[in-house]
């Protein structure tokens, strides 16, 4: 970028497998709820291209792998031909500006209700334990969850296959790779966490059994599109959606050691300090042991600012840093870091509205220098 990179490790280049990144500032996957009927919309072309720099890595919002994967209004999918075709111009716009674009593939599991499910059926999960109602992000509305249906052992391969097909579809849409969403209390995380998983078959009980579903999905996706195009997001320390674990560090270590066998491109890990989706807590726990154990690229996320991110890269605590809310509100975030410019403030009230412009593509850029 400039001499600024000497004092901003975030702005130094990085070799991500076959991809040459010009900086280490990653667009975190951010649910924006603007994909009507689960189909990506043309307004996403502007949203993602605004946040694209030559050699920058973007991870798209969580994208459903099937018609049972939904739990929020207007989230995109990638299980139909129509959805694949709708993604193509969005991906093309990112590539036209030299960006690298990964598709995060997702199943919400029990974080849903029958209104989002085909034929009004119960959501699926590793368990039949219900989630308690949750206050929505606006602090006013309450989300109610239908009691889930516990997947039978013989049904699990079909869900694994849904992820495989979604990965293939993502490549057909032109994405450079996929990120498997294994975090934040959604289906894969539900299997991994002992607070949720109460199974007695080969997918429950021991750490190995609870991680089996995740490993099978990774293996299927790697076999379909190649390990060099696969990442995964994990949050072993988090308890989002009542999905805590009694020994999160052991869970994180077991998972990355398992992932090493597949040689995947990256692991995207949420910091222990992110105990809730909106608050950063002081935390003595660290990702360091997990980072050291993983052999691929390590992306850290969770409440980072420029100073934190620079320190993490300088100390080798992470290779890349994912930014969510700051990138949402500052489409030119790497440039602002380079110039030490002030950041736009984000507006939480517009994070999850369905408006195609407000709080989406109307955050201002820095004035162009003459």
Q: Where are the alpha helices (DSSP H) in 246-352?
A: 248-260, 288-293, 306-314, 325-329, 333-339
Burial 293-324 (b: 16+ CB within 10 A, else e): bbebbbbbbbbbebebbbebbeeebbbbbbbb
Question: Residues 241, 269: contact at Cβ < 8 Å?
Answer: no
Question: Residues 102, 230: contact at Cβ < 8 Å?
Answer: no
302: alpha, beta or left? (left if phi > 0; alpha if psi -120 to 50): left
Q: Which of 14, 48, 186, 266 is catalytic?
A: 186
Distances (CA, A) of 256 to 50, 187, 203, 289: 33, 18, 18, 10
Q: Which burial class, exposed, middle or buried, applies to 3 when counting CB atoms under 10 A from its CB (0-12, 13-18, 19+)?
A: exposed
Active-site annotation holds for 203: no
Catalytic amino acids?
186
């Amino acid at each position: 970028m400039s001499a600024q990179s000497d004092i901003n490790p975030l702005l130094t280049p990085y070799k991500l497998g076959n991809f040459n990144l010009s900086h280490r500032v990653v667009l975190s996957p951010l649910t924006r709820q603007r994909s009507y009927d689960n189909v990506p919309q043309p307004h996403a072309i502007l949203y993602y291209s605004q946040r694209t720099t030559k050699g920058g890595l973007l991870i798209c919002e969580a994208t459903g792998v099937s018609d049972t994967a939904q739990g929020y209004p207007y989230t995109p999918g990638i299980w139909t031909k129509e959805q694949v075709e709708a993604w193509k111009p969005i991906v093309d716009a990112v590539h036209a500006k030299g960006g690298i674009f990964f598709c995060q593939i997702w199943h919400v599991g029990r974080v849903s209700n029958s209104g989002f499910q085909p034929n009004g059926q119960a959501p699926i999960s590793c368990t039949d334990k219900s989630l308690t109602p949750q206050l929505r992000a606006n602090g006013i509305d309450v989300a109610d969850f239908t009691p889930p249906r516990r997947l039978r052992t013989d049904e699990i391969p079909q869900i694994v296959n849904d992820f495989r097909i979604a990965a293939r579809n993502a490549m057909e849409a032109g994405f450079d790779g996929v990120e498997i969403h294994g975090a934040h209390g959604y289906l894969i995380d539900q299997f991994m966490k002992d607070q949720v998983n109460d199974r007695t078959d080969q997918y429950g009980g021991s750490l190995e059994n609870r991680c089996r579903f995740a490993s099978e999905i990774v293996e299927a996706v790697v076999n379909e599109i190649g390990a060099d195009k696969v990442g995964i997001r994990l949050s072993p320390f988090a308890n989002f959606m009542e999905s805590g674990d009694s020994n999160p560090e052991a869970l994180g270590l077991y998972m990355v050691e398992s992932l090493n066998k597949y040689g995947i491109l990256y692991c995207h890990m949420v910091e222990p300090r992110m105990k809730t989706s909106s608050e950063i807590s002081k935390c003595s726990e660290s990702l360091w042991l997990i980072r050291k154990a993983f052999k691929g690229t390590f992306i850290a996320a969770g409440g980072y600012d420029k100073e934190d991110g620079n320190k993490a890269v300088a100390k080798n605590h992470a290779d890349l840093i994912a930014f969510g809310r700051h990138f949402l509100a500052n489409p030119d975030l790497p440039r602002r870091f380079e110039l030490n410019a002030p950041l736009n403030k984000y507006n939480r009230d517009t994070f999850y509205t369905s408006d195609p412009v407000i709080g989406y593509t109307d955050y201002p850029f820095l004035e162009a220098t003459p």
